[in-house]
Amino acid sequence: MMDDLTLIQRIVVWILPVIFAITVHEVAHGWVAKKFGDNTASQLGRLTLNPIKHVDLVGTIIIPGLLLITSAGFIFGWAKPVPVDARYFKNPRRDMAIVAVAGPVANLLMAIAWAMVVKLGVSLSIEGVSLPLILTGMAGIQINLVLALINLIPIPPLDGSRIVTGFLSNRLAWQYNKLERYGFFILIALLWTGGLSYILGYPLNYMFRLFASLAGM
């Protein structure tokens, strides 16, 4: 269904789900950090769903745009990271791990919400309304599942690495997080060599089928 769309149609279908997926992911980090005592994101005006506050030229526009244009196997991106200061946490490593989990959890909740949009489109059966709802909802499911799974990969600075750090000793955590300077390049290399598709292929297909079933597809 998605493959039959023109480039302009694909952009129209994907733009809202991509922006919401990336924005809410970051807001979730900041919101949970605030619950643990860190008001940094709030003070900087980052606890907002206004996408302008979160847009990253490369991660929010260029990378998703290139993936759309090239009809890549899946689309992903990122926003400007919400600042989190672990010095405000009572238990910094544990609390940081929970803050990290908040992003992928937010994406999974959004995937459920988009599944309900698809279900609504299927049930309405109104020409000119049902198909856009179904297409946008399916795009919303896909982008949120991709973001949730990618961010759980334990490559610093992805959320998965923050979760792993919570279980390491101080010495091992310090050594492990030294990889952060190479994280972006590792991720891009995995994307363009097909390694990312290999890693995420089975879990993504399984979860997409599960959510599509939830949506009545």
Q: Which residues are catalytic?
A: 26
Q: In angstroms, rounded to a whole number, what is the distance separating the alpha carbons of residues 54 and 152?
A: 20
- Cβ contacts of residue 150 below 8 Å, gap of 6+? 76, 158, 187, 196, 200
- Length of the chain in residues, anyone? 217
Q: In angstroms, rounded to a whole number, what is the distance separating the alpha carbons of residues 159 and 151?
A: 5
What letter represents residue 85's amino acid?
D
147, 25 in Cβ contact below 8 A?
yes
What letter does residue 158 receive in the DSSP assignment? S
Q: In angstroms, rounded to a whole number, what is the distance separating the alpha carbons of residues 201 and 70?
A: 18
Report how far apart, in Å, the C-alpha atoms of 64 and of each of 14, 18, 79, 119 are. Answer: 9, 8, 11, 26
